């Protein structure tokens, strides 16, 4: 059992390591343990163990280490996900013939790789406001289109495995899923996307945020179904459609305040100019939303204050134009209406269906995932790996 299954830069991956990881993979998948299943997943398991050795070696070179407490916390989280106390969860593993240390090794490897990626790669992944704006603009344009809540498993080339082999691996995973395997478990074990640690969860996306091949597949799917393997520039994808709904993105909701200066009916031009001058003076004195009421009282401007929550689309055209791109807390130019002059202040802006933080996170995950795959390919390319089984 302690003989070498592979040697990775003079470090051994033992046959016992492979056997324990196989048991762990089969157990977590929810599939029946058969010799055929073990044979199907063994090569993939061995590749993962080799990658983990390479990652650990690089982490050691960079003096990156994961504490025992971090590993314990992750194990506690796994136990909660399996709805068991930790002690019972670990006892269950042992009953299934899995050494607890094998699971600890896998968890430590995953945490170490995440720490390495965070230090080495994440600082180079910068998402600009313009990139977020571009996606947000596309989401607005697609208002009324379909949104999908999806999970993914992504298999990519390591520079050594042929495209046909990767496709066949993806097909085997798809067969296992259709035979009852747990999607999240297989994603954690086999997916090479940045979403793998969270079971492949991508979240809510629309067609603009996906490769067109995946969007086309989702269009023909029903919630609860799995599709794949889907070829894209990134590799082969297996996609689980969890839910779908129609987008209502684009409606802008404002928390709006104003200082209002009435113009007496029939007022002469000189009187109108005085009102405009007073409004311009008030604008110069405003310093955010907190000053609205005090400024209105000091200037004797009745009808001023909080207008509540309003839809941008329902404002008169002049007011809508004044506040559409107005920064939060900054007073607008005076807006003339038939009854007076308004100085408007946007105290909060929410765009229905547009979560800029989520868009930025998704863009960052995608870019980080690509950077991680390139980095992993470099580690493999520069390694001396001798597979012996």
Residue 221 has what pLDDT? 94
The total number of structural domains that make up the chain: 3
Comparison of pLDDT for 141 and 310, the residue scoring more: 310
Distance between CA atoms of 162 and 147, rounded to whole angstroms? 34
Query: Given pLDDT bands bounded at 50, 70 and 90, which one contains residue 12?
Result: very high
pLDDT at 158 (0 to 100): 65
Is pLDDT of 28 > 90? no
Query: Average pLDDT over the chain, rounded to whole?
Result: 86
Check: CB of residue 144 under 8 Å from CB of residue 247: yes
Flag whether the pTM goes above 0.85: no
Predicted pLDDT of residue 287: 79
Is there a single domain that holds both residue 22 and residue 69?
A: yes
Question: In which domain, by residue range, is 331 found?
Answer: 252-351
**Residue 249 clears pLDDT 80, i.e. is over it:** no
The predicted structure's pLDDT at residue 153: 95
Residue 159 pLDDT level (bands cut at 50, 70, 90): low
190 and 230 assigned to the same domain: yes
Which of the four pLDDT bands, split at 50, 70 and 90, describes residue 268? confident
Helices within 96-245 (DSSP H only): 100-120, 129-141, 163-178, 183-190, 212-219
- 11 shares its domain with 104: yes
Region 210-238: what's the mean pLDDT? 92
**Residue 19 shares a structural domain with residue 99:** yes
Residues 256 and 318 in one domain: yes
CATH of the domain at 283: 3.10.50.40
46 lies in a domain? yes
292: pLDDT strictly greater than 80: no
Q: Are residues 371 and 245 in the same domain?
A: yes
Q: Is the confidence at residue 237, as pLDDT, over 70?
A: yes
Residue whose structure tokens are 């100085």: 343
Q: Single out the residue of 77, 99, 79, 97 nearest to residue 87, CA to CA.
A: 79
């Amino acid at each position: 059992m302690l003989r070498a299954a592979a040697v990775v830069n003079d470090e051994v991956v033992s046959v016992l390591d492979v056997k324990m990881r196989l048991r762990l993979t089969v157990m977590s998948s929810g599939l029946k343990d058969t010799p055929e299943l073990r044979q199907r997943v063994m090569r993939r398991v061995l590749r993962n163990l080799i990658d983990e050795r390479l990652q650990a070696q690089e982490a050691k070179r960079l003096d990156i280490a994961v504490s025992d407490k971090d590993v314990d916390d992750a194990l506690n989280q796994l136990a909660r996900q399996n709805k068991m106390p930790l002690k019972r969860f670990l006892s269950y593993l042992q009953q299934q013939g899995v050494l607890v240390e094998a699971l600890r090794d896998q968890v430590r490897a995953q945490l170490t790789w995440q720490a390495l990626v965070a230090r080495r790669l994440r600082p180079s992944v910068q998402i600009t406001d313009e990139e977020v704006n571009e996606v947000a603009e596309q989401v607005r344009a697609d208002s009324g289109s379909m949104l999908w809540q999806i999970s993914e498993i992504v298999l990519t080339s390591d520079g050594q495995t042929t495209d046909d082999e990767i496709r066949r691996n993806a097909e085997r995973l798809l067969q296992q899923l259709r035979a009852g395997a747990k999607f999240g478990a297989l994603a954690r074990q086999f997916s090479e996307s940045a979403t793998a640690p969270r079971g492949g969860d991508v979240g809510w996306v629309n067609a603009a945020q996906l490769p067109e091949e995946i969007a086309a597949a989702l269009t023909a799917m029903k919630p609860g179904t799995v599709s794949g393997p889907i070829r894209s520039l990134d590799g082969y994808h297996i996609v689980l459609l969890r839910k779908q709904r129609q987008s209502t993105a684009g409606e802008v909701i404002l928390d709006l305040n104003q200082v209002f200066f009435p113009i007496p009916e029939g007022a002469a031009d000189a009187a109108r100019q005085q009102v405009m001058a007073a409004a311009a003076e008030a604008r110069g004195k405003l310093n955010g939303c907190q000053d609205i009421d005090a400024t209105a009282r000091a200037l004797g401007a009745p009808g001023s204050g909080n207008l509540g929550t309003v839809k941008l689309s329902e404002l008169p055209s002049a007011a809508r134009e004044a506040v559409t791109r107005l920064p939060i807390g900054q007073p607008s130019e005076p807006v003339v209406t038939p009854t007076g002059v308004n100085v408007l202040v946007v105290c909060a802006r929410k765009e229905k269906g547009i979560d800029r933080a989520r868009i930025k996170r998704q863009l960052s995950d995608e870019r980080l995932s690509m950077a991680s795959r390139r980095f992993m390919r470099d580690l493999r390319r520069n390694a001396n790996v001798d597979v012996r089984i």
